Structure 1
Amino acid sequence: MPASNSRINVAILAVPEVTASALYGMFDLFSSPGRDWSFIVTGEAGEQRMYPYIAARTRKRFLAANGIWVKPDYDFKSCPKPDIVCIPDFFVNPGDSIAGSYDPEAGWLKQSHANGAMLASACSGAVLLGEAGLLTDCEATIHWGYVATLTNNYPGVKVRMDRSLVLSGEAQRIVMAGGGSSWQDLALYLIARFVGLKEAMEVAKVYMLQWHDMGQQPFASLMSLRQTTDAVINRCQEWLAMNYKTRAPVAAMIARSGLPERSFIRRFAKATGMKPLDYVHALRLEEAKQMLETTDMRIEAIANEAGYEDTSFFGRLFRRSTGLSPAHYRLRFGSLHQALNTTKKFDETDLRVEIESATGLIAVVEDATKGVD
């Protein structure tokens, strides 16, 4: 790592499909250590510790995916040697191969890593690490919507959805963050690792950032519920979506399919990537999540509505799937619904104040109940 008083160069990779909010958000956060905290508390900017710049295959400006102009500071040949290379998320079709589309970027990433740089990706940016051949037989993380993009196209990748950050490679010089706003966590981690924990905490305070420590498990099961192209299995999926509370739903689907049991199970798993019973649980738990987020129903009633007579069994399944108990899931994801319900009678000005108060109260309750099921 660079000496504590040396210039830390942070190259932020840009491609035409990049998300500009992540690109420029990273630029702002990496510009902050040593500079902004002092300005906030004393009125005088301190010495900037990190020096971000935008690198691309060419310095010619281009429109990012959301229509904002990007003007790279350097091309790959002319940019200063980076200590860190960050790869923001970019738009790629989930599951698709991008082989050959980003050869200049992949080659530069591979060379930068060989020269000692740390490589860091956010969200779908991890796909470019795969293109550079740096994820073979490695643990990784990526946005839950793009898991198949890694696992379908790069050999041996082991995706960890239960972690906010995953470190891989020699000396842990590859770090990946999963969700759409995970670039904030990624930036704070890199600031702490290269500059110091104190400076990372100062940046978090200046920008009012909150660490996302629970990974993506609460969201990942959505991908398993996509409709298939197998007409027989698709009809069973459609039936189950309306009848998931049915007793013995797998047996009912087998009967509807007209297939022998072993053939149905094999065909269902091939079409969906899941065993029929696992699929039933995933669908029921998604329905339970919606009820936890949007209603005030008791957890016992939600378990019953989702198709579970045994609330304890429901709770164990829910925690295994999401990493949270149903009660903690409601605290974390039901806050907006609760805030809106308590503010409908107020005018626009009072509504804003009430939402802020309710959100703060829920945060206090959540802190007070940590570790309690």
Structure 2
Amino acid sequence: MLDQNSRINVAILAVPEVTASALFGMFDLFSSPGRDWSYIVSGEAGEQRMQPYIVARSRDGFEAANGIWVKPDYDFNGCPRPHIVCIPDFFVNPGESVTGRYEPEARWLKRSHEEGAMLASACSGAVLLGEAGLLVNCDATIHWGYVATLTNNYPGVRVRVDRSLVLSGEAQRIVMAGGGSSWQDLALYLIARFVGLKEAMEVAKVYMLQWHDMGQQPFASLMSLRQTTDVVINRCQHWVAMNYKTRAPVAAMVALSGLPERSFIRRFTKAAGMTPLNYVHALRLEEAKQMLETTDLPIEAVANEAGYEDASFFGRLFRRETSLTPGHYRLRFGSLGRTLKPK
């Protein structure tokens, strides 16, 4: 935490593929500490404690990914020295390498870190930390749909998809937030760390923000089950997608493949990134999530419909994989479906 009278410089990095909601949302939240709470409760704005500004490789304006116009305040050479650098999420194809595409951004990030700045990324923004060479042998997090983007392109990175925030690096001066809206958690954390917990709580109350303490596991879906180019394994994947409730789906896939069981398991695991049994569990749990979100079926019936005869085993497995019990998952995610259901 800096001197109480200091204004903290927060550089928010923008690239043409940036998500404008995160970019400008971060700007608003970092403008709030010290200012907005006083205005809400007394009608008079207080002294702003943080100074956010948008920085890019050029001050020339550009359209963000959704067409909103972005006009950077500074380029890399002219911006005030930041105490914090934030990297909002940006559009990159899952698993795709961006090597060489963001060299100016990577060099500036590395220099800012060497000069003492805290680096913070939201969602896919962690890719630029990888490009800057700052994630070697480090824990990291990113949106669950982009795990392969880190693991495929930056050897040694350890992705913690179960965590909302991950701190890494010397003196924990790198912080990463995983999911799409977790930039809000990221901003609150940085406000608490650099300004104070009281001010972070005030910002959360003004903007009615809720801390996502359960991580990303409840949100992970079939997008993480990659389809393979292995013809034999791909045929098994298509079959099990329609037949996951079968009593012995792995044995059935072994028979369908025509391979010896040990060879099939080894080949499936290499191609799909998980064992055949774990793949089946992932399919079943995704179906269970959908039923919990959209129906009023008892938990035992959900378990049975998903392919589990033992409801207690289903409950333990569900909690292990999502960090929530089936009942708590329904309470948290079923409300939207109930609200939208025709009366």
Inter-partner Cα distance in structure 2 for 1:272 and 1:203: 43
- 2:110 maps to which residue? 110
Tell me if structure 2 keeps the 8 A contact 1:224–1:273.
no
SS at structure 1 position matched to 2:171: helix
1:253 paired residue number: 253
Say if 1:224 and 1:272, in contact at 8 Å, map to a contact too.
no
Cα offsets for 1:54-80 (capped at 9, x unmatched)? 010111111111101111100000000
How far apart, in 1, do the equivalents of 2:242 and 2:93 lie?
Answer: 29
Which residue matches 2:48?
Answer: 48
SS at match of 2:220: helix
**1:298 is matched with which residue?**
298
1:326-365 equivalences under 5 Å are: 326-341=326-341, 344-345=342-343
Partner of 1:119: 119
Match of 2:79 in 1: 79
Quick one: distance in 1 between partners of 2:17 and 2:144?
A: 19
Per-residue deviation, residues 8-55 of structure 1 (Å, max 9, x unmatched): 100000001101110000001100111111111111111000000001
How far the C-alpha of 1:285 sits from its partner, in A, is 0.7
Instruction: State the match for 1:21 in structure 2.
Output: 21
Kindly indicate whether the alpha-carbon contact (under 8 Å) linking 1:224 and 1:279 is maintained by their aligned counterparts in 2: no
| 1:56–1:75 Cα contact (<8 Å) kept | yes
1:352: which partner in 2?
Answer: none
Q: Which residue of 2 aligns with 1:155?
A: 155
Cα drift, residue 222 of structure 1: 2.5
Which of 111-120 and 257-266 deviates more?
Answer: 257-266
How far 1:220 sits from its partner (Å)? 2.7
1:163 deviates by: 1.2
1:275 equivalent to 2:275? Answer: yes
1:319 has 2:319 as partner: yes
Residues 140-179 of structure 1 aligned to structure 2 (within 5 Å): 140-179=140-179
The separation in 1 between residues aligned to 2:340 and 2:219, in whole angstroms, is: 23
Paired letter, 1:97: S
Q: Give 1:351's aligned residue.
A: none
Contact preservation (8 Å) 1:8, 1:49: yes
Once residues 74 and 26 of structure 2 are traced to their aligned partners in structure 1, the CA distance between those partners, rounded to angstroms, is 17
Aligned to 1:361: none
What letter corresponds to residue 207 of structure 2 in structure 1? Y
Q: Distance in 1 between matches of 2:137 and 2:324?
A: 29
Distance 1:270 1:139 in 2: 23
Contact 2:122 2:142 in 1 (8 A): yes
> Is 2:184 the partner of 1:184?
yes
Cα deviation, residue 225, structure 1: 2.2
* Whole-angstrom CA distance in 1 between matches of 2:318 and 2:128: 33
Q: Which residues in structure 2 correspond to 1:233-248 (within 5 Å)? A: 233-248=233-248
Q: What number of residue pairs does the alignment pair up? A: 343
Aligned equivalents of 2:216, 2:224: Cα separation in 1: 14
Matches within 5 A, 1:184-263: 184-263=184-263
Please tell me whether residue 5 in structure 1 is matched to residue 5 in structure 2. yes
Superposed CA RMSD: 1.0
Matching residue's letter, 1:47: E
The 1-side partners of 2:272 and 2:72 are apart by 42
Q: Is the 8 A contact 1:126 1:141 kept in 2?
A: yes
Counterpart CA distance in 1 for 2:61 and 2:339 is 43
In structure 1, list runs of 5 or more residues that go unmatched. Answer: 346-373
Instruction: Give distance in 1, aligned partners of 2:239 and 2:59.
Output: 54
> Within 1, Cα distance between the matches of 2:297 and 2:283?
19
Deviation at 1:218, TM superposition (A): 1.4
CA contact (8 A) 2:145 2:224 kept: no
Q: Shift of the alpha carbon at 1:221?
A: 4.8
Aligned-pair identity (%):
85
CA distance, structure 2, for counterparts of residue 242 and residue 18 of structure 1? 37
Match of 1:289, SS state, is: helix
Q: Displacement of 1:223 after TM fit?
A: 3.4
- Could you list the runs of 4 or more consecutive aligned residues of structure 1 that deviate by over 6 angstroms after TM superposition? none
State the SS of the aligned residue for 1:16: coil
Give how far 1:239 is off: 1.2
1:334 aligns to what SS in structure 2? helix
What is the CA-CA distance between 1:87 and the residue it aligns to?
Answer: 0.2
Can you list the C-alpha shifts for 1:72-121, whole angstroms capped at 9, x where unaligned? 10000000000000000000111011111101100000000010100000
Instruction: Give the whole-Å Cα distance in 1 for the aligned partners of 2:302 and 2:21.
Output: 38
CA–CA separation in structure 2 for the residues paired with 1:158 and 1:234:
28
Tell me the distance in 1 between the aligned counterparts of 2:125 and 2:207.
23
Match of 2:286 in 1: 286
CA contact (8 A) 1:224 1:274 kept: no
- Distance of aligned partners of 1:2 and 1:63 in 2 relative to their CA distance in 1, 3 Å threshold: same
1:141 corresponds to which letter in structure 2? T
What is the SS of the residue equivalent to 1:235?
helix
CA distance in 2, matches of 1:90, 1:213: 23
Please name the residue that 1:32 is paired with.
32
Structure 2 unpaired stretches of 5+ = none
SS of the aligned residue for 1:297 comes to coil
Structure 2 letter corresponding to 1:159: V
